[in-house]
Amino acid sequence: MFELNKLLRPHIADLKPYSSAKDEYTGGYGIFLDANENALGSASSTTHNRYPDPYQKEVKTKIAALKGVDVSNIFLGNGSDDIIDLLFRVLCRPEKDNIIIMPPTFGMYQVAADVNTIEYRVAPLTDKFELQADKVLEQVDENTKMIFVCTPNNPTGNDLSTQEINKIIENFEGIVVVDEAYADFTTQESYINHLEQYPNVVVLQTFSKAWGMAELRLGMAFASSDIIHVLNKVKMPYNINGITQKIALDALENANKKEDMVAALIEERKRLEAILPTLDVVQHVYPSDANFLLVKVEDANDIYQKLMDKKVIVRNISKAPGCEGCLRISVGTAEENAVLLDVLRD
Ligand SMILES: *Cc1c(COP(=O)(O)O)cnc(C)c1O
């Protein structure tokens, strides 16, 4: 049985959060003399003298409509990275608890574990980068708080099997973090649609990839309102700045532009998937459900450096387990991809 209160670090379960007057007043216009802001205005040419909405209600209302969830199921952070760290801080007792990751996968899970002095256990994907639920569940003990499932997976690009993910969720009493940073590029159904069925799931999505807003640093978590409530208690009071909130609102009103860009990027990816295998230096292009490709080449270190010399920067991930000789290449514009292909041809 999943019981959130038993999973939380005891002092977090008991935490009384910081409260601002802006939490208590919801009457719209007012004379705000509560927060020691500068009532005269800002030194900058645009106005920023008031603290922003601590719970980002307008932004969340738009996200809720788009995703078909309730506002109470949404948490926003300073990028998904920030939310990952926050999950560690509310759930994991330093030097006592552990989490499980399935390499090769996103590096931040391990870094966040290290920062918080939490043991990470590994249950590697197969050589075809497939998830084996049984191998993951074997690693679980009474101090396992989280399992991180990244789908489509970074750096491999493939969707992980829904069946295997469900098996993990259904047989683990801790939190399963399903990182869907690349959800917009895949046809796999989002776990956002299964939050009621799975109270132990936290879905991560981000404005950094498909939305094209990496500079903003805005990440989303979707989960039960109980989990969201705990994250709200622990977050910094004004964790999402006002400019970010305004720009996010603007983007959410133009979701069709995001859809168009996603379609164009997938087209370009398919073009690269067709051309790359015909090049002499390329040994294998792994199937991708994301906006990047994992490409096995003759000599990854050498090709990485030669691309860099021509000002084409890719990610050398040949040291990641199971990724020997591999580069991870983001899909660029048609022009950028043409330069990439030219350099690889040489
Ligand atoms: C890019 C990426 C993120 C996004 O992180 P942000 O902090 O929101 O920019 C999260 N997870 C994975 C797997 C990623 O590749």
Rounded alpha-carbon distances, angstroms, from residue 248 to 118, 119, 243, 255: 33, 35, 8, 10
Residue 101 forms beta bridges with which residues?
122
Distance 277 CA to ligand 1 centre (A): 28
- Integer-rounded Cα Rg, in Å, for the chain is 22
Mean pLDDT of 230-238: 96
Among 232, 253, 274, give the residue marking a domain's end. 253
Q: For the beta carbon of residue 287, count every other beta carbon within 10 angstroms.
A: 13
Residue 138 lies in a domain: yes
Mean pLDDT of 309-335: 97
pLDDT digits (tens, 9 = 90+) for 41-98: 999 999 999 999 999 999 999 999 999 999 999 999 999 999 999 999 999 999 999 9
- Whose alpha carbon is nearest atom 11 of ligand 1? 181
User: Percentage of the chain with pLDDT > 70?
Assistant: 100
Residue 205 sits in the same domain as residue 58 = yes
Residue 313 sits in the same domain as residue 221 = no
Residue 121 forms beta bridges with which residues?
100
Domain that holds residue 167: 4-24+53-253
Among 253, 269, 301, give the residue marking a domain's end. 253
Alpha carbons 198 and 175: distance in angstroms, whole number = 10
Angle subtended at Cα 112 by Cα 287 and Cα 323, rounded to the nearest 5 degrees = 30
Residue 33 forms beta bridges with which residues?
none
| pLDDT interval class at 25 (50, 70, 90) | confident
pLDDT reported for residue 5: 94
Residue 74 sits in the same domain as residue 118 = yes
Residue 124 sits in the same domain as residue 225 = yes
Q: What is the number of residues in the chain?
A: 346
pLDDT reported for residue 214: 98
- How far does the chain reach from its first CA to its final CA, in angstroms? 58
Alpha carbons 281 and 258: distance in angstroms, whole number = 34
Which atom of ligand 1 is least distant from the CA of 82?
7
pLDDT reported for residue 18: 85
Q: What is the CATH number of the domain that holds 268?
A: 3.90.1150.10
Q: Dihedral of the CA atoms 222, 223, 224, 225 (nearest 10)?
A: -50
Residue 152 sits in the same domain as residue 231 = yes
pLDDT digits (tens, 9 = 90+) for 261-270: 999 999 999 9
Residue 46 lies in a domain: no
Count of domains observed in the chain: 2
Residue 337 sits in the same domain as residue 213 = no
- Whose alpha carbon is nearest atom 3 of ligand 1? 181
Among 253, 288, 318, give the residue marking a domain's end. 253
List pocket residues of ligand 1, CB cut-off 6 Å: 79-81, 106, 150, 154, 179, 181, 206, 208-209, 214, 219
Which atom of ligand 1 is least distant from the CA of 153?
13
Residue 248 sits in the same domain as residue 288 = no
Alpha carbons 345 and 340: distance in angstroms, whole number = 9
Residue 30 lies in a domain: no
Alpha carbons 62 and 245: distance in angstroms, whole number = 11
Q: Which residue has the higher pLDDT, 29 or 136?
A: 136
Q: What is the CATH number of the domain that holds 151?
A: 3.40.640.10
Angle subtended at Cα 342 by Cα 338 and Cα 344, rounded to the nearest 5 degrees = 115
Residue 94 sits in the same domain as residue 67 = yes
Residue 241 lies in a domain: yes
